[in-house]
């Protein structure tokens, strides 16, 4: 079976690496410049001229990034199965559509209001009570196109800095930590959930994910599973879906979803019985799902901006290095290291050992280290 992947970055690369043992072939389609995938035929098509060519070479289509025109996914879906469905793309490309769907499905969100002018932003900030976070409704990712308003008086400046015609204004959530749940749904409607991961960001970029999240209560895992299951079933979704959440003393609050394999699930490559990448390939190919059980405790460390001393990390018996064949550039994801351990104490010690060879990494902080 030939799987067509829209996008040719590191996620496509890891999908292919997981698909080869299942005898899948891959064709990648990218609308921008520099594919890093290096593991299959790659069509770079800046003007949308080669879509028919791409379609003729594949049996099924999936995607590895969500900023893809929905119309392209819809037109492909008229000819070949496209998983996940184009509606999933449509929802996650618009923060208002996304939060509206969450609300309809009973998934808790921060209180929010739309605003289409500086005055409306000020009024929304007043009504919700500051602090609030204003985010562009479309085209936002990794904290871009966002501003925190400490007072309604900040509205003018925030509106100008975001520079979009419509924003969503959300009540600021005082979360204890950021977490995510990754789930997979098969063509037959079977669903499996990975354990929740705890995610640490720095300058808007994910740095560490620990899974299962330290101190994870079974009822919190269940709550997250119910939220993501509602989305999977509503969208008749096939493949891997990620839901990013805030954990608060009052329970979980949903932030956003990603209709694809996710950086906070890279730990599953060595840390779970079946990786998120293999399970995505299984689902989109119509196979049964693999076990999502964790093999002990994992931490994923992103390699950002510069590679650091990879040779030294390769000497560590518990570190698994994954490189994306990308050139160094500030803020760019170049690879990741998965560290496994049998206790959280051992995990912290091992992560610290790795991080000393990664000069771009901020201090390792998590709910583990915060306790001292
Ligand atoms: P997003 O682009 O929506 O994922 O937001 C980027 C980051 O901004 C998140 O990872 C959070 O750290 C922070 N953030 C977003 N929305 C809120 C909110 N309503 N309350 C507090 N922090 C937020």
Cβ neighbours, 10 Å, residue 353: 15
Closest among 221, 132, 129, 215 to 173, alpha carbons compared: 132
The 10s digit of each residue's pLDDT in 157-182 is 999 999 999 999 999 999 999 999 99
Q: Identify the band that residue 372 occupies on the pLDDT scale cut at 50, 70 and 90.
A: very low
Cβ neighbours for 72, distance < 8 A, ≥ 6 positions apart:
6, 48, 51
> Is the CB of residue 98 below 6 angstroms from any atom belonging to ligand 1?
no
With b for 16 or more beta-carbon neighbours within 10 A and e for fewer, the 257-294 pattern comes to bbbbbbbbbbbbbbbbebbbbbbbbbbbbebebbebeb
Give yes or no for residue 360 having a pLDDT over 90.
no
Q: Does the CB atom of residue 201 touch ligand 1 within 6 A?
A: yes
Instruction: Read off the tokens for 213.
Output: 């999240």
Q: What is the pLDDT of residues 187-222, one digit of tens each?
A: 999 999 999 999 999 988 999 999 999 999 999 999
Q: Is 173 in the pocket of ligand 1 (CB under 6 A)?
A: yes
Is there an atom of ligand 1 within 6 Å of 130 CB? Answer: no
Answer whether 255 contacts ligand 1 (Cβ < 6 A): yes
Q: In angstroms, rounded to a whole number, what is the distance separating the alpha carbons of residues 359 and 232?
A: 39
Mutate to test the pocket of ligand 1, among 143, 164, 208, 247 (most ligand atoms within 8 A of CB): 143
Residue 212 near ligand 1, beta carbon < 6 Å: no
Burial (CB count within 10 angstroms: exposed 0-12, middle 13-18, buried 19+), residue 80: middle
- What's the pLDDT at 364? 84
How far the first Cα of the chain sits from its last, in Å, is 51
- How confident is the model at residue 57, as a pLDDT? 97
Percent of the chain with pLDDT over 70: 97
CA of 68 to the centre of ligand 1 (A): 22
Q: Ligand 1, closest atom to CA 253?
A: 19
Give the integer Cα–Cα distance in Å for 298 and 268: 8
Whether 324 contacts 334, CB under 8 Å = yes
Distance CA 30, CA 169 (A): 33
Residues with Cβ within 8 Å of 372's Cβ and at least 6 positions away in sequence, in order, are none
Distance 206 CA to ligand 1 centre (A): 12
The pTM score is 0.96
Give the Å distance between the CA of 143 and the centre of ligand 1: 7
Position 34 scores a pLDDT of: 67
d(CA 152, CA 8) in angstroms, rounded, equals: 42
Q: What's the average model confidence in pLDDT over 280-285?
A: 98
Confidence label for 46 from pLDDT (cuts 50, 70 and 90): confident
Average pLDDT score, the chain: 94
Average pLDDT over residues 356-365: 87
Q: Could you tell me how many residues make up the chain?
A: 372
Contacts of 217 (CB under 8 A, 6+ apart): none
Q: Which pLDDT belongs to residue 188?
A: 97
**Residue 191's beta-bridge partner residues?**
185
């Amino acid at each position: 079976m030939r799987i067509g992947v829209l996008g040719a970055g590191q996620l496509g690369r890891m999908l292919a690496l997981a698909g080869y043992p299942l005898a899948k072939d891959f064709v990648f389609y990218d609308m921008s410049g520099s594919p890093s995938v290096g593991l299959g035929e790659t069509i770079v098509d800046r003007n949308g001229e080669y879509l028919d060519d791409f379609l003729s070479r594949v049996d099924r289509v999936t995607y590895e990034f969500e900023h893809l025109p929905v119309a392209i996914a819809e037109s492909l879906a008229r000819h070949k199965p496209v998983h996940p469905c184009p509606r999933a793309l449509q929802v996650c490309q618009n923060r208002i559509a996304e939060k509206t769907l969450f609300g309809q499905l009973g998934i808790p969100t921060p209180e929010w209001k739309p605003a289409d002018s500086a005055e409306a932003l000020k009024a929304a900030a007043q009504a919700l009570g500051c602090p609030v976070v204003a985010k562009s409704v479309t085209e936002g990712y990794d904290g871009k196109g966002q501003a925190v308003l400490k007072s309604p008086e900040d509205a003018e400046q925030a509106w100008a800095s975001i520079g979009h015609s419509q924003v969503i204004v959300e009540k600021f959530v005082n979360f204890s930590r950021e977490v995510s749940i990754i789930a997979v749904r098969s063509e037959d409607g079977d669903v499996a959930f990975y354990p929740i991961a705890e995610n640490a960001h720095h300058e808007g970029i994910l740095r560490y994910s620990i899974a299962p999240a330290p101190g994870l209560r079974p009822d919190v895992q269940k709550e997250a599973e119910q939220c993501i299951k509602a989305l999977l079933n509503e969208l008749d979704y096939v493949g891997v879906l990620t839901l990013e959440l805030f954990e608060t003393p009052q329970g979980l609050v949903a932030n956003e979803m990603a209709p694809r394999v996710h950086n906070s699930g890279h730990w599953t490559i060595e840390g779970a019985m079946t990786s998120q990448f293999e399970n995505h390939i299984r689902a989109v190919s119509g196979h049964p799902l693999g076990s999502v059980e964790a093999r002990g405790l994992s931490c994923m460390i992103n390699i950002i901006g510069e590679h650091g001393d990879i040779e030294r990390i390769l000497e560590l018996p518990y570190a698994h290095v994954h490189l994306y064949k990308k050139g160094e550039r500030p803020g760019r994801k170049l690879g990741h290291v998965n560290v496994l351990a049998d206790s959280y104490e051992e995990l912290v010690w091992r992560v610290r050992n790795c991080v000393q060879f990664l000069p771009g990494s901020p201090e390792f902080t998590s709910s583990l280290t915060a306790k001292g």
